[in-house]
């Protein structure tokens, strides 16, 4: 199965920030999943190959979600970002957002287990 389709995407348009090293850009999230995001390519974006931090504030709150990502595709003025690390607070809020939008707790639980399995490192 294509990994991009292992996680349900939710439409979620909101302003966000990307940071790569000392460089920062403003962007807009187009959709989210437990494993990444699709965002608009910011003006003057140039990928150095380093990790990209995606952060955004949940609407009507002061809760900031921060995700360490890598660029997996760049086309049609959009960037596909894959989650490499997300802190416990951020994943809890993201899980709740996905749950509310999916309306299927069993599907979300399967995806959460897959996420944990893919991101569990025992180095």
Which domains does the chain carry? Answer: 3-119 (2.40.10.220)
3-state SS record for 10-40: EEEEEEEEEEECCEEEEEEEEEEECCEEEEE
Instruction: Give the integer Cα–Cα distance in Å for 84 and 17.
Output: 17
Res 107: pLDDT = 61
Res 39: pLDDT = 98
Q: Which of 13, 47, 60, 53 is nearest to 32 (CA)?
A: 13
This prediction's pTM: 0.80
Q: What is the mean pLDDT of each run of 10 residues along the chain (123 residues)?
A: 61 93 96 92 93 94 95 95 94 84 68 70 52
Task: Please name the residues in contact with 91: beta carbons below 8 A apart, sequence gap of 6 or more.
Answer: 34
Res 12: pLDDT = 84
- The angle formed by the CA atoms of residues 112, 102 and 121, to the nearest 5 degrees, is 15
């Amino acid at each position: 199965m294509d990994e991009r389709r292992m996680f349900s995407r939710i439409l979620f348009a909101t302003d966000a920030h990307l940071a790569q090293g000392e460089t920062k850009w403003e962007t807009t999230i187009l959709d989210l999943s437990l494993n990444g995001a699709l965002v608009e390519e910011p003006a003057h974006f140039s990928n150095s190959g380093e990790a990209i931090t995606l952060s955004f504030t949940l609407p009507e709150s002061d809760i900031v979600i921060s995700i360490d990502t890598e660029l997996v595709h760049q086309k049609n003025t959009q960037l596909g970002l894959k989650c490499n690390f997300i802190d416990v607070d951020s994943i809890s809020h993201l899980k709740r957002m996905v749950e509310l939008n999916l309306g299927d707790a069993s599907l979300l639980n399967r995806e959460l287990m897959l996420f944990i399995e893919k991101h569990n490192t025992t180095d």
